[in-house]
Structure formats: C-alpha cells, structure tokens
Amino acid sequence: MNVGEGSKLIEVKDLRVSFFTPEGEIKAVDGISYALDHGEVMGIVGESGAGKSVGAYAIMGLIGAPGRVLGGEILFEGEDVLRFGKKRMRAFRGGEVSMIFQDPKTSLNPVFTVGNQLRAVYRAHNRGFSTAEAYRRVAGMLELAGISDAEKRMKQYPHELSGGLLQRVMIAMALICSPKLLIADEPTNSLDVTVQAQILELIERLRRETGMGVLFITHDLGAVAKLCDTVSVMYAGAIVEQGTVDDIFYAPAHPYTLGLLRSVPDRENNLTRRLATIEGAPADSLRLPAGCPFAPRCESCMSICLLRRPPFVELSEKHGSACWLCVRNRIAGGEEETPHE
C-alpha cells in the first residue's frame, strides 16, 4: 500500500464489528462501505443504536472489549488503519484524524484546566516545543474556535464553562494538530438550539479554511441538509441507502429513508396533518430477524424481505440502496419505481 495513492481521503470497505456480550453477539456494524474525498462532508444518519458511532470508533481504533473488529478494511489515504501498530495509531489519532463527541460536559477531564488538557494533546503530537510556544498555540486555537478572552478560559475548569463553550473547546482540541479528517459524533445533541446552529457554522467555517474532510454523525436531518455533501443512512448496523444530499432528499429509494424524511414535522405546509411516524420500535440488535432488518416495520414489506437480506443495488453513480424493492424494479424491466408514497 503506497501512501497517497488514490484520491480518496478515507475508504471503508465491508467493515464488520461485533460486541460479544453475555447475552449474545451484537452485530453493531455488519458490512458497511463508504468513501470520502478530501474536503468532503458526509453525514451518517440513523436512529440510536444503528451503529453509526461504532463505525467511527473503528476508524479511530477505539473499539475495546467486548467489541472486536471482525473484518473489512479502512483505508486512510491508502493505508489500512486496522493494521496500524500502537505507535502509529497514537500518531494517527488526533494528528491525522480527530474526533469530537456528543456530550462535552463529560468529555473533558474535570480535574484539569482546559488549557492544561489542550496542551497535553499538543504535546503528545509535537515534541520539542517550549511551554510558552505550546501556550500560544493553545490560545490561538481557542480563538480560532470562536472563544473570546482565551487566556482567561485556559485557566478555568470544565465545570465552570457552558455547554456551547465546552464544545468549542473540544473542537479546538481536535483541530490543534491540524488533522485531515474530523469525525463529529452527534456534536450538537446536548446543546441548545441556538448554540447548535453556532457550532455547525463553526465546523463549516473551519472546514472551508482548512480543507479537511468531515464525517458528521447525527440524527438531525436539518443539519445534514445544511452541512453535508453526501449521506449514508444506517439501520441496525447496515447502510440501507447512500447518495448525495440531493439524491437522498429528493429521490429516496429506501422505505426507511422515506420514513425519516416524512417524520420531520413540516411546519410550512401541513399544520393539520398528523405527525408521521415509523411504526414499531428500533431493531433489537440481539435478536435481528432473518432477512432485511427493517422488514418488520416496512410498509412495503414483501415475502422475500422476511427471508433474505437485500443486496446493495447501485441506482446511479453515487446513489445506492439495499432494498428488495430496487431489485424488483430492475428485474421488472429497468423502470425505476419509487416505493409507494
């Protein structure tokens, strides 16, 4: 594998991750594949427990017992991340790929000051810098993340800062070593709505300025529409649909995607219409049915759906879906029939 070969920033191929619990094997990620170009923003959407975060953790090498990566490849600029040794992985994490997490209040160590923690990260990747230089770099990073009076903030403890500020600190920490890829795992989940918008703007601005790629994990379709170039929709550990933002929003091919889009309350047009939901509860990962995992809740469920898992069908160059409906439509003579409205 030559470094730099191929234009893709990151390519995930048929990744499989399972957790072996006393109650049985949970197939958190069961064969997913996607690819990201440099500077591209991909959204990964799905319900809680769909396996969105697990895939990202696999990239970062953070899967620990009782979980295990069972197979597949993760190619970062051509190198298989899954084969990294410990030292290489440490340099990789935070240096080439950074991750920010959902709840900033618990994601920062409460007994160290903010500046201290940022400095520790910087030091871990850059030896031989004096304390003063590290200090300046940290302050600069905090300002870049939109934190005014950075000097004062550096000396404060996490419990003294608000959620929005803390998330900015996290972003500063993630970007302090100029990574090429940022993974954002539901970064706005625990924040107020106004603050959410600010954080999203920040991420977008930083992406423009640094040219880094972003993997944006969320269940907020609105954020996806604003921020992302491509989208992968996940359900029960599998990618059920994948495509550009336009593909997904204007030509959804999978019943689940359709259900998600429909369940967003539509204030402009239909104040009187009943709130649409997807019937049933999210799949129990311990007891997945044979066949398509979405079948029990699908309005277009067919006999074959209960028996066999659907293959992933390419609908156009960037758009694909794993659904028997697509197979049926193709076999029936090439006409694209969208799943019934």
Partner 1 sequence: MDGRNIKRIKFGSFQPDIGVLLELKPEDFTPVKAETPEERVPGTENGSYRHAVWMRFKKKKAATAAFCVLVLIIIFAFAGPIFVSYGYDEFNSGAENLFPWHYSLEDQAVLDKAMGSTEDRLSAALNKAAAEKGSALSSIESAKIKAESDNPFTDMSKIARENNIHKKPFGYSLGELERKAAGEKVFPHVFGTDKYGRDIMVRVMIGTRVSLLVGIFAALLVLFIGTVYGLISGFSGGGVDMVMMRFVELIYAMPDMLVILLLSTVLKPALINYQSSGEGVLQSLVGLLGPNLIAMFIAFALMYWVTTARIIRGQVLRLRSQEFITAAKALGAGPGRIVRKHLLPNCAGQIIVTACLEIPSAIFLESFLSFLGVGVAAPMTSLGSMTSDALSGIETYGYRLVIPALLLSVIILTFNLIGDGLRDALDPGLKMKGEKL
Partner 2 sequence: MAKYTLKRFASALVTILFVICVTFLLINSIPGGPWTSDKNPSKATVEALNEKYGLNKPPIVQLGKYLENLAKGDLGVSLKMQKNRPVAEIILEKFPVSAGIGFFALLWSLIAGIFLGSLAALKRGTWADSLIRVVCTVGVSMPSFVIASLLLTAFTGKDGTGGVFPVIFDFSLGFKSYILPCFALGLYSMCYIARQTRASMLDELSKDYIRTARAMGLSSFTVVFSQALKNAVIPVITFMGTDIALVFCGGFVVETVFSVPGLGRYFVQSIQNRDYPVILGTTVFLAAFIILMNFLADVLYKAVDPRIELTKGDR
Residues in touch with partner 2 (CB under 8 A): 60, 62, 65, 86, 90-95, 98-99, 101, 103, 106-112, 120-121, 124-125, 157, 159, 170, 173-174, 177
Instruction: Work out which of 195, 225, 261, 313 binds partner 1, going by CB under 8 A.
Output: 313
Q: Does 303 bind partner 1 (CB under 8 A)?
A: yes
Q: Does 64 bind partner 1 (CB under 8 A)?
A: yes
Cα angle for residues 223, 226, 227 (degrees, 5° grid): 85
Cis amide leading into 66 (omega within 30): yes
> Which range binds partner 1 by CB under 8 A, 76-84, 109-117, 167-175, 330-338?
330-338
Q: Does 328 bind partner 1 (CB under 8 A)?
A: yes
Question: Please, which residues have CB within 8 angstroms of residue 68's CB and are 6 or more apart in sequence?
Answer: 17, 18, 19, 20
Q: Does 65 bind partner 1 (CB under 8 A)?
A: yes
Shortest Å distance, C-beta 78 to partner 2: 21
> Which range binds partner 1 by CB under 8 A, 54-62, 80-88, 152-160, 259-267?
54-62
Work out what residue 279 binds among partner 1, partner 2, none; the CB cut-off runs from 5 to 8 Å by kind: partner 1
Shortest Å distance, C-beta 74 to partner 1: 13
Answer yes or no: are the C-beta atoms of 322 and 239 closer than 8 Å: yes
Work out what residue 31 binds among partner 1, partner 2, none; the CB cut-off runs from 5 to 8 Å by kind: partner 1
Q: Does 19 bind partner 1 (CB under 8 A)?
A: yes
| 73: three-class secondary structure by DSSP | strand
**Among 37, 45, 19, which residue's Cα sits nearest to residue 75?**
37
Q: What are the distances in angstroms from CA 143 to CA 148, 152, 160, 171?
A: 6, 12, 18, 11
Q: Does 105 bind partner 1 (CB under 8 A)?
A: no
Q: How far apart are CA 137 and CA 10, in angstroms?
A: 28
Residue appearing with tokens 């903010």: 114
Exposed/middle/buried for residue 293 (C-beta within 10 Å: 0-12, 13-18, 19+): buried
Q: Which long-range contacts (CB under 8 A, 24 or more apart) does 23-27 make?
A: 23/286, 24/286, 26/285, 26/286, 27/237, 27/285, 27/288
Q: Which residues bind partner 1 (CB under 8 A)?
A: 13-14, 19, 21-22, 28, 31-33, 48-49, 53-54, 57, 62-67, 102, 185, 238-239, 242, 279-281, 284, 287, 289, 295-297, 299-314, 320, 322, 324, 326-328, 330-334
